[in-house]
């Protein structure tokens, strides 16, 4: 039977239990209490139920710190500001993002940190008196829940359209379409022989088209030499016409002064020349009329002032 001091025994047991508990907590959190820590700020735009001060912060599944402060921020709408303290050795840069996830079935939320693959620049310097801010994303089930209202709205719209499609009028239209399809199938069944002969008719038609094309190619081959000769004649005619035009231009340039003088002087005498020509034509017509009446005048024309004596 133990005869020592019972108080000493109880105190020793309690001290050992506390030490074991502290060591267990340190082992659980992966911290020895001497690591350097760094603080960051997270801004959540949604409900953070399940997250409390002291809640764990994980990076790729490893415990690296905890949430040390939570508050509402109304400077840019209503947001939840969560300050975390994590190991300074944690690789945090502009590609790092935070998300909220539920741990197990207890409803306890944890902050998960992850990073986009690749090299990234450091986080921008925060304003004075604030911590660097890590952007927040909705991933996994949280992202699904965040988009649930929009999904439900689209699903409701889809169901509404489906209900409109299943209206009585549409059902009757579908029934009529099915009846027409049955009638068409029956008509096609009655025309089975015609349809069977259709491929052969198509082959015959293609053969005729092929034969016509071959004859047309033969005619084109026969006409092509004559057509080439005609084109050559047209080209020669064009060259001759160009040469003639050049000669006319040269002639007009060499006799431009003579043509101008003719147009100025010769055309001015044309009216008088026409009047004299008309007068001469009238005299000629008169003379021809006299010769027609008395042809003897061509041989002897009696004097108009002679005196005729009777024998």
For 5, the domain range is 1-30
pLDDT-wise least confident of 214-223, 225-234, 249-258: 225-234
Which residues are within 8 A (CB) of 141 and not within 5 positions of it... i.e. 6 or more apart? 101, 102
Q: Are residues 62 and 133 in the same domain?
A: yes
- Domain for residue 302, yes or no? no
Comparison of pLDDT for 133 and 166, the residue scoring more: 133
Structure confidence at residue 302 (pLDDT): 57
228 burial (CB, 10 Å; 0-12 / 13-18 / 19+) is: exposed
* Confidence check: pLDDT of 82 > 50: yes
Q: Final residue of a domain: which of 203, 223, 254? A: 254
Comparison of pLDDT for 291 and 307, the residue scoring more: 291
Mean pLDDT of the chain: 78
Domain total of the chain: 4
What is the pLDDT averaged over residues 35-59? 90
Please give the model's pTM, rounded to 2 decimal places: 0.41
Q: How far is Cα 156 from Cα 151, in angstroms, rounded to an integer?
A: 9
- Domain for residue 148, yes or no? no
- Domain for residue 90, yes or no? yes
Q: Are residues 40 and 126 in the same domain?
A: yes
Q: Are residues 131 and 99 in the same domain?
A: yes
- Domain for residue 147, yes or no? no
Q: Are residues 44 and 132 in the same domain?
A: yes
Structure confidence at residue 227 (pLDDT): 64
Structure confidence at residue 162 (pLDDT): 77
Q: Final residue of a domain: which of 119, 138, 157? A: 138
- Domain for residue 56, yes or no? yes
Cα of 215 vs its chain's centroid, Å = 46
Q: Are residues 125 and 217 in the same domain?
A: no
What is the pLDDT averaged over residues 158-180? 80
- Domain for residue 305, yes or no? no
Cross-strand bridge partners of residue 85: 39, 66
- Domain for residue 96, yes or no? yes
What is the pLDDT averaged over residues 194-198? 71
Comparison of pLDDT for 55 and 150, the residue scoring more: 55
């Amino acid at each position: 039977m133990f005869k020592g001091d019972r108080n000493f025994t109880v105190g020793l047991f309690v001290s050992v239990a506390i030490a074991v508990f502290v060591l267990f907590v340190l082992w659980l959190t992966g911290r020895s209490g001497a690591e350097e820590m760094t603080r960051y700020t997270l801004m959540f735009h949604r409900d953070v139920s399940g997250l409390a001060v002291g809640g764990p912060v994980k990076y790729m599944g490893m415990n690296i710190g905890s949430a040390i402060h939570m508050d509402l921020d109304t400077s840019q709408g209503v947001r939840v500001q969560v300050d975390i303290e994590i190991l300074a050795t944690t690789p945090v840069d502009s590609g790092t993002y935070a998300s909220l996830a539920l741990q197990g079935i207890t409803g306890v939320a944890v902050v998960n940190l992850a990073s986009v693959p690749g090299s990234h620049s450091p986080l921008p310097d925060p304003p004075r008196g604030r911590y660097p801010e890590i952007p927040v994303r909705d991933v996994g089930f949280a992202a699904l829940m965040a988009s649930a209202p929009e999904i439900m709205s689209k699903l409701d719209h889809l169901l509404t359209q489906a209900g409109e499609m299943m209206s009585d009028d549409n059902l009757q239209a579908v029934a009529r379409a099915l009846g027409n399809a049955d009638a068409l199938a029956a008509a096609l069944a009655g025309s089975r022989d015609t349809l069977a002969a259709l491929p052969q008719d198509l082959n015959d038609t293609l053969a005729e088209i092929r034969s016509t094309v071959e004859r047309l190619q033969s005619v084109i081959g026969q006409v092509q030499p004559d057509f080439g000769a005609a084109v050559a004649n047209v080209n020669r005619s064009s060259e001759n016409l160009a040469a003639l035009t050049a000669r006319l231009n040269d002639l007009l340039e060499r006799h431009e002064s003579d043509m101008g003088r003719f147009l100025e002087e010769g055309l001015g005498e044309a009216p008088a020349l026409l009047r004299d020509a008309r007068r001469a034509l009238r005299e000629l017509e008169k003379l021809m009329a006299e010769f027609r009446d008395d042809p003897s005048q061509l041989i002897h024309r009696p004097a108009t002032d002679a005196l005729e004596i009777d024998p």
